[in-house]
């Protein structure tokens, strides 16, 4: 995570608190420190839910690919 003060791309987590709830959404609070300038800040992070439609399309494509592989394997002489 980039430092909001100097923009350095690396930081370290000093302290992470368990999940809390705010306005019906769960989040994790983390206290971070920049490795370059030692600036400290707090982040409130939430978990993104996976895109189920995309997961279904990927699974469907894999299924079609498996069917094509099976047909190719059956069509070849032993």
At 52 the pLDDT is 61
Tens-place pLDDT, residues 7-65: 999 999 999 887 777 777 788 889 999 999 999 999 988 877 666 666 667 667 777 66
**71, pLDDT greater than 70:** yes
Q: What angle do CA 5, 29, 23 make, to 5 degrees?
A: 115
At 58 the pLDDT is 67
At 40 the pLDDT is 95
């Amino acid at each position: 995570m980039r430092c909001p003060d100097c923009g350095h791309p690396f930081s370290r987590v000093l302290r992470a608190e368990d999940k809390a709830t705010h306005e019906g959404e769960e989040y994790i609070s983390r206290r971070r420190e920049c490795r370059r300038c030692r600036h400290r800040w707090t982040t409130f992070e939430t978990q993104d839910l996976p895109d189920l439609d995309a997961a279904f399309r990927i699974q469907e494509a894999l299924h079609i690919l498996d069917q094509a592989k099976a047909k190719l394997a059956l069509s070849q002489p032993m």
